[in-house]
Every structure is written in C-alpha cells, then in structure tokens.
Structure 1
Amino acid sequence: MTHSASPQTHTTDAVLLARLERIPVARRLTLIRVVIGSATFFDAYTVLVIAFAMPHLVTEWNLSTAQTGMILSAGYLGQLVGALFFGSIAERIGRRTTLLITILLFVSMDVACLFAWSGTSMMVFRFVQGIGTGGEVPVASAYINEFVGGRKRGRFFLLYEVIFPVGLMFAGVAGYFLLPHFGWRALFVVGLIPALLTVPLRRLMPESPRWLAARGRFDDADAVVTMLEHDAVRHGHTLAEPVVKPVSAQAGKRSDWRELFQGVYLRRTLMLWALWVCVYTVNNGLITWLPTLYKQFFGLPVQTAVYYGWITSAVGVAASVFCALAIDRVGRRRWYTIAFLVAAVPLLALTALGATSATQVVLIAPLAYAALQTVAFSLYLYSAELYPTRLRALGTGFGSAWLRAGSSLGPLLVAWMISGLGIRYVFTAFAVISLLGAAVTAFFALETKNKSLEELAP
C-alpha cells in the first residue's frame, strides 16, 4: 500500500525527512551500525572461508578439479541470485525483516555445511548460503543509508562497510590457527556467531523510517524518528531546526524494476554497472591470483606466497579506512576518478618493468589494489545514494550482481592473458580497465556529497 499524492501527505513526508536529516550520529545509530556490521563481518567471513577449507576437503572426499571448482563457484552463483531476489523483497516487506531472513538463511546453511558428507552436498549448501549472503549486503547498505543525513552519510556508512574486507582477512586468520588443530569444520563453527545476533536484532533495530514513509506508514515512521531524536538529546546532542524541502510527487510510487532503465535512472544504472565490473574485474583478479603467481612463477614457498598475498589485503583495508574518513570531504565522483587513475600507474609500471620478480610485484601491485579497494567497498554507498527509497535496495542489488560478474571475469582474464601473452600483459589489461573506469566516472558519474537522498533521487 502506498500513500496518496495529496499535498498534506507530501508535507507530512517532507517534515519527517527534514527531522531525520538533522539527527546527529548518537548511540542508537551507532548501535544499529554495530549490529549490522557484525552480521556483515561474518557474511564476508563465510564468503572466503571455503577457500581455506578446500585443501582438506579435496583430500578427505577425493574431489576432482572440476568438483572443487564447482564448490567454489556455487557460493558466488548463489550470491548473484540473492542480490537480485532480496533487493526486490526488501522493497515489498521492509529492510529489517529481509535482513533477518538473509541472516537466518546463511547461518542455517553454515550449520548444514558442518554436516556436509560429500562434494555435492557441500556445493548445494554453499549455493543456498550464497543466496543469503548475496541478499544481506545490498539490503544492509540500503538500510544503513536511509538513517543518516547527507553531510555525514559517507563516513558513517563506510566505517560500517570497511568491516567487510576485515571479515575477509579474518577468514585467513581463522584458517591459519584453527585448521591444523581442529580441522575444517571448526571454520564453519566460527561462522555460527551471527546466530547470536538474530535475537536482539528485531528489538534493537527499527525499520527504516524512509521506507515506512514511502509505504504510507507515517505513524510508524514518526515513532522511529522521534525515538532517534530522544536518543540524541538524551546523550547531549543539540538538534538543529529541521529544514523542510519539497518532496517529489513520485515518492509514493510503487517499486517497479523497470524504472531502473527509465528517465534519469537509466544513465545511473548503466554507469554503476560499468563501475562494478571494472573495479571487481581488476581487484578480484589481483587478490585471487597473486598468491598463485608468487608460488608458481616465482618459486616462493607456500607460506611466503600466502604472506605476500596478505600484504595486499592489509594495504587494501588501510586504504578503505582512509577513504571512509575522507570521502565526505573529497566527494564520490572526484575520489573514484582519482582512484582509477592512480591504480593504472603501478599497473603500467609493472608492464614496463616486466613483472620479472616477486619483489617487484609485492611492492607495486598492492598499490593498485589499495586504490581500487576504496572504490570497491564504497560502491554500495554510492549505489544506494543514486536511487529513491522505492528502488534503493533493488537498484543496489542489481548493481552488486555485476560485482559477481566482474569477480568471475578477473581470474579468467588472468589465465587467458598469461597463457597467451605473458605475465606483464595481465597488468596492461588491468591498467586499461582502470582507465576505462576513470573515464566512465569522469563523464557519467553524479556527485552526491552533502546532499539528502531525496535531493539526489526523486
């Protein structure tokens, strides 16, 4: 049910949104970020943990190379389905309820993985788990964005989003310490921690007031905004007077996926899809391929190869934190253009040098990865800013589906380039893709800093 288009309705909507825009980041908003961030942390953990369990599973179940590849790919295929499916569900039944469903889904499948008895059973469980994982991140992104005003949205959201690459790193830590002593099942036991969050989740987290208002549930939206106002005042914040701005007559329209390809949103959708593919083709190609490069082409011991791979991940996390703190001042469009251009420099340097030693690669390649990681992890923020409430979860989900496409394309491109042309030209190809990302951003991206979501997307 949508609210009517009467002038009184739009006035009510505008006042609610104006009150929400000027609420500072107080304890309740921080708590929301912590709870969702904790779930996202273990969401990231479950994505990568299978990679560390797989060497043991190959031996225990006598898996072929094809079976191993299918198990590893099953989770990504499930994520693609989840990103498309749950974005639409979140527009219909709400962000909070959808988040509960996705968390319960990937936690229940984590339990199932503990009892997997064959490659086929693990593949099925990982596929279903991927559906929950793929749905949680874009819906959580829409949810977090809808609580915060334009001036502080980037920093608030990205300090939450940085938990995802940290979760990926934690999977490696768990694998290093747990596998030798407790076996592969211990890794999935750690992934059960999100189950502890599902009980307090409903009590501690209100529904998105923007979604409630868009559905015509003004009393419920007012209750959420009032609760946030009281929390801010109770913890010593002074609330500014709300600045009421007109709300578009389209705000009460029903969610319709076809609108993503109409009017102003067509250009935004295609631009975002291009950015998702460019950044994840390069970054996923680098992060998944570099350890193998160190071992197979430069003859480093496995432990050293893994350590060098960790350097790349760690530099990426550090760059992500810096981006979270600075992007509200720099702006999304300028940051992305610079990041893509900066990433091309070390990639071209490796081409010129020939990538002839592990030392060259470990000193230079992480610089490109770090620059692009700031784009990769913040695209959820940018995607959510470019769509209205009725399309936000849906548009973010559709966009992140191209993340999966880029993630699959990167390693395939690496394999093809190495076999056909040689190592140095892999970096050439990645540099070209980075420059393409810079061009798309410079010519087609919209700046969103310091603007309310309603200003950006009517």
Structure 2
Amino acid sequence: MTTPVADGGAAKAANAELVARLERLPVTRRLLLIRVIIGSATFFDAYTVLVIAFAMPQLVDAWNLNAAEVGLILSAGYLGQLVGALLFGALAERIGRLNTLLITIVLFVAMDIACLFAWNGTSMMAFRFVQGIGTGGEVPVASAYINEFIGARKRGRFFLLYEVIFPAGLMFAGIAGYFLVPLYGWQSLFIVGIVPALLTIPLRRLMPESPRWLAAKGRHAEADAVVRRLEEDAVRQGLELPEPAARPADARATVRSDWRELFKGVYRKRTLMIWALWICAYMINNGLVTWLPTLYKQVFKLPLETSLAYGWITSGVGVVASVICALLIDRVGRKRWYAAAFLVATIPLLLLTALGATTATQVVVLAPLAYAILQTISFSLYLYSAELYPTRLRAIGTGFGSAWLRAGSSIGPIMVGWIVADLGVRYVFAAFAAVALIGGLVTMFFAIETKGRVLEELSP
C-alpha cells in the first residue's frame, strides 16, 4: 500500500479538488449500479440475520433443543455481529472499503454453507457466531463506501433508498421461511443464502474503490482515475456537470486513522450521542418486532396464523415508513426528523399504557405505529453515523456505533420478557415510551444537523 501523504500544500490542494469534483457529480448509471450491487449484498445480509428464527422450529425437534440452547443459538449471531462491526470497521480504514466488503461477503456466505451441514446445536451456534462476524461488518462498511461517492445535496435520499433494502431483506426471510420450510426443510433457507456469492464477481469487476479513501491514503492518481471515470459517464449520458467549486481542505484529511480520535475533540460528543441513538432505537424496535407475535399468541390467545399475520403488519408498515423517510429526509434534516420521531413515537406507546393494552386490537393498531415511526430512525442511522466522521474515521466510527445496535437489540427482548413476567404487558409500552423520550432529548440537545453539508465540512 502507498504510504499516506503527510501534511503539505500539494496533498491539501489535491484533496480539495477531488472533493469539489465529487460534490458536483450527478447520479449516473454507474452510481446507481453501485447502489444496486451493494444493496443486494445488504439485502442478503438482513436475510441472513433473521433466517435462523424461521429454521428454529424444525431444529428444536430435530436436535431436541431446550430453551436455553435455542437462546444461545439465536444470540450467537448477534454476538458475532458485535465483533464484526468493530473488526471490519477498523480493517476498512487500513485495506479499503471494497476489499473489506469482499471479505465480509465471502465470510457470511461460507458460513451459510457450513450451516447447511450443522449436526447439532453447538455446531450451529459456532457457525452462526462466525457468520455474524461477516454480517456485522458488511453494513457499516457499505454505508461508509456509498456515502463517499455522493454529494451533499443528494446524499440522504440516494443512501436511504439503498438502506431501505435492509428491512425488505428481513421481510424476505419471513416469506422464505413460510413457503420453503414446510416443503423443503430448514436447509432450504440456507441454500438461498448462498446467492450473495455471485455478488463477488461484479464487486471485483464493476466497482471502484472509494476515491475519498484513496485520497486519504495519498493515492491521488488512483482517486483521480475513479472520479474521471464518473465524470466521463456523466458527459456520455448528457447530464449537467457544473464547474467544481473547491473549498479549503483540512490538513488532517490525509493523516493516519486512529480509533482513539473518536473520543477526542468534537468527535467525543458525536460518538456518545450516536451510540445513545443506536441503543434507544433498536432497544424498542427489536423488542417489539421479536415479541409481538408471541404476545398475540400467549397473552391474547390468538391462533398462530393470526399472530403471525399481525406480526407481518408490523414489518410491513416499517418498510413503508422507511421509504417515506428516504424520500423526505434531505428536506427535513436528520436532527429535526430524529427528534420528532422519537417524541411522536411516545404517543402510541403511552396510549397503550393508559389503555392497559387489554386487547389485541389496541396493540395491533398502536404498536406497529410506534414501530414504523422509530423504524425511520433505526434504518437511517447508518447514513447519519457515516456523516459524523471524516474519511479516516468513517468506517470505524460507523462500525463502533452499529456495535451498540447489537447491544440494544439484545436488551430489548430481554427487557420485554422480564416486564411481562413481573409487571404485565402495559408496562412494556411504558418502558419503551421512556426510552423513546430519552432518545428524543439526546437528539435535541446533542445531535448536529448534517443536511446539505459536504462531508469534509462536517468533519475536519
């Protein structure tokens, strides 16, 4: 690898010119292709995360698993994702976004194949842990990669129309489980998960490395070649290509990555703030989406088919809300949207508390409403996280932040189980309302607005 360029007028000027050229680029067919390819990987990442839940009913009978073993298998993937988010975020700063993405895809596909041949609960738990390392690393690195191609004015919409594929992937896991498992068995779900192996071909052949990362490493000739190719695409397609407006570049743009900088200067407050948002959003939403079908069946005594159908309502409205957010967030702004969403979500949660959550109708109307509102935060935090850090910290900062996604995802279901057992259903929603209120207050007092601002201006 080329040695990073130290402080110097030439490096600063080259970096400023590169950023100006990237910022004026229109959305070309090549950029759309990049979004499709990376989006496909993220779709199967989401599928892989949830698919074990739909294989588990057959595995319990086949391997005589008890409740503790089931819990360990389900948790193994999340623990692996925590490790992967930390590991691959740091690796992406060293070897590049594209090389790291290839490793994550190969890893979670290889472990998908291994899961096909799992012979007991222990082997499945081990394979799922290693697979989680790959899936946990893919999304934060992909988020950093896509953000670094798009100008400030179009970044939110372009990125979130990619990120909406994640909740769609979660829904696909449920569809595959419903149709495939009864006919072909649990192994069929993991066969579907092998499809992303095909993505390694276009990743290598059609996708360039992030020009911002290349420039940060002092590889200006390679970065220039990538941007020049994108400019030529725009010209061939007859798209407007304004003159680049160079802004002064900070000398720190080309210094070596150091994770400790996440907790220094302006980045300390940003790091702690984004961690709080990850925890609050995912504690509520994962608590809701994983427990609602069980609550419908066990608490309200609904038939299994009805309980599953009601659970689908929650996932479906979440996808719709995500699309709306993707289309509007560049107009509204991140800080304003997140503060409003957290605070508005407390309303249906408090209504359920006041009503007592005594009927399934109350829950199926109000709980999915709260979930949908908060889903606009949880699915878009990858966008916001990547905007808070400079190129030298973007992948590792996003990875560290999303590691708290896994923590919140684990805490939510545990909290629901404890509250239902000891206090009753209504207090689940009271607790979630309190968490949403905390998230709203943290956003109001500590978040920064990133709408329409160049990445290098936001983060020196």
Indicate the TM-score class for this superposition, using the shorter chain for normalisation: over 0.9
Task: Give the letter aligned to residue 101 of structure 1.
Answer: I
Q: Decide which of 391, 400, 403 is 1:401's aligned counterpart.
A: 403
Aligned-residue CA RMSD (Å): 0.6
Residues 41 and 105 in structure 2, CA contact (< 8 A), matched pair in contact too: yes
- The equivalences for 1:43-62 within 5 A come to 43-62=45-64
For residue 285 of structure 1, what is the aligned residue in structure 2?
Answer: 287
Residue equivalent to 2:351: 349
Q: Does 1:275 align with 2:277?
A: yes
Residues 251-286 of structure 1: CA deviation (Å, up to 9, x unaligned): 111111100000000000000000000001100100
From 242, 245, 256, the equivalent of 1:243 is: 245
Query: Using the alignment, how far apart are the partners of 2:332 and 2:257 within structure 1?
Result: 32
For residues 223-269 of structure 1, the C-alpha deviation after alignment (integer angstroms, 9 at most, x for no partner) is: 00001111111112010111100111111111111000000000000
- Per the alignment, residue 375 of structure 1 pairs with 377
Q: Are 1:178 and 2:174 matched, yes or no?
A: no
Matches within 5 A, 1:140-219: 140-219=142-221
Indicate the SS of the match to 2:146.
Answer: helix
Counterparts of 1:84 and 1:9, CA distance in 2:
30
2:363 counterpart (361, 364, 370): 361
Name the counterpart of 1:96: 98
Equivalence map 1:361-440=2 (5 Å): 361-440=363-442
| Aligned equivalents of 1:176, 1:411: Cα separation in 2 | 23
Distance in 1 between residues matched to 2:408 and 2:265, nearest whole Å = 26
Instruction: Report SS of the residue matched to 2:391.
Output: coil
Q: What SS does the aligned partner of 1:149 have? A: coil
CA contact (8 A) 2:23 2:151 kept: yes
How far apart, in 1, do the equivalents of 2:158 and 2:273 lie?
Answer: 24
Alpha-carbon shift at residue 17 of structure 1 (Å): 0.7
Give a deviation string over 1:131-187, Cα, whole Å, max 9, x none. 000000100000000000000000000000000000000000000110111000000
Post-superposition shift, 1:420?
Answer: 2.0
Residue type at the aligned position of 2:204:
R
- CA–CA distance in structure 1, aligned partners of residues 206 and 345 of structure 2: 41
TM-score normalized by structure 1? 0.99
Q: Percent same amino acid among aligned pairs?
A: 73
8 Å Cα contact 2:280/2:435 also seen in 1? yes
Partners of 1:427 and 1:451 in 2: how far apart? 37
Superposed displacement of residue 412, structure 1: 1.1
C-alpha offsets along residues 17-52 of structure 1, whole Å, 9 cap, x if unaligned?
Answer: 100111011100000000000000000000000000
Shift of the alpha carbon at 1:4?
A: 2.3
Per-residue CA deviations over 1:402-421 (Å, capped at 9, x if unaligned) read 00000011011111211222
In structure 2, distance between residues paired with 1:333 and 1:390: 24
Matched residues in 2 for 1:346 and 1:66: separation? 33
SS at match of 1:131: helix
- Residue 326 of structure 1 deviates from its aligned partner by 0.2
Runs of 4+ in 1 over 2 A off after TM superposition: none
User: Which structure 1 residue ranges, 5 or more long, are not aligned?
Assistant: none
Whole-Å separation in 1 of the counterparts to 2:420 and 2:117: 39
Aligned amino acid, residue 118 of structure 1: N
Q: SS state of the match for residue 390, structure 1?
A: helix
Q: Residue in 1 aligned with 2:267?
A: 265
Structure 1: distance between partners of 2:18 and 2:426 = 56
| Distance of 1:342 and 1:309 partners within structure 2 | 22
Query: Which has the larger displacement, 236-245 or 417-426?
Result: 417-426
Partner of 1:456: 458
2:125 corresponds, among 116, 123, 126, to 123
5 Å-filtered alignment, 1:300-339, equals 300-339=302-341
Question: Within 2, Cα distance between the matches of 1:189 and 1:75?
Answer: 18
Distance in 2 (CA, whole Å) between partners of 1:279 and 1:17 is 33
Report how far residue 367 of structure 1 moved: 0.7
Q: In structure 2, which of residues 2, 7, 21 is the aligned counterpart of residue 19 of structure 1?
A: 21
User: What code does the residue aligned with 2:280 have?
Assistant: C
| 2:379 partner SS | helix
**Structure 2 gap segments, 5+ residues each:** none
For residues 176 and 343 of structure 2, the distance between their equivalents in structure 1, rounded to whole angstroms, comes to 35
Once the two structures are TM-superposed, the CA of residue 73 in structure 1 deviates from its matched residue by: 0.6
Q: Distance in 2 between matches of 1:203 and 1:301?
A: 50
Shift of 1:211: 0.1
Structure 1 distance, partners of 2:121, 2:366, is: 38
The number of residues matched between the two structures is: 458
